[in-house]
């Protein structure tokens, strides 16, 4: 397993958890995955299986396919990244952005989708706070 890939995914998961304002214990209770295992995933010491990703996707605000794509379990075309209206975090990419993104290497696609998802979660949490 590529340590950078594991660390990058762990960081995306940690940022998703922080964005959702969840502690490791809260995410553990919501997902049924031990907090110690989640901590090791976030630190890049462990790489999550598909079943773990499935359990943590919703509490973190990700769609399952989105997290599977970031983890490398799905290719961009099977997850929708290369389609004309790909989805990320419940939203859709502009068709121009999707075409440009589809031309990039898979690691860049994953990073951009992760960043967009985190930004969307931050925007939504800001709107909720101001309401």
Tell me what pLDDT residue 95 has: 66
83 with 77: CB under 8 angstroms?
A: yes
pLDDT in tens, the chain (131 residues): 455 555 688 888 988 888 888 999 999 999 999 999 999 999 989 988 888 999 999 999 888 888 887 777 776 654 444 343 444 544 566 666 767 777 777 777 778 877 887 887 787 777 777 76
pTM for the model stands at 0.56
Residue 66, pLDDT score: 81
- CA distance linking residue 60 with residue 91, whole number of Å: 15
Segment (H or E) for 58: none
CATH class of 3-130: mainly alpha
Given this model, what pLDDT does residue 7 score?
64
């Amino acid at each position: 397993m590529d340590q950078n890939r594991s660390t990058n995914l762990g960081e995306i998961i940690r940022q998703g958890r922080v964005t959702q304002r969840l502690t490791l214990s809260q995410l553990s209770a919501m997902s049924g995955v031990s907090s110690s295992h989640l901590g090791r995933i976030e630190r890049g010491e462990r790489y999550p299986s598909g079943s773990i990703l499935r359990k943590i996707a919703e509490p973190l605000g990700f769609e399952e396919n989105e997290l599977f794509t970031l983890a490398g379990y799905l290719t961009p075309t099977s997850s929708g990244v290369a389609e004309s209206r790909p989805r990320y975090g419940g939203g859709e990419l502009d068709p121009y952005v999707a075409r440009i993104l589809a031309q990039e290497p898979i690691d860049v696609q994953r990073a951009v989708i992760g960043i967009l998802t985190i930004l969307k979660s931050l925007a939504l949490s800001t709107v909720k706070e101001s309401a």
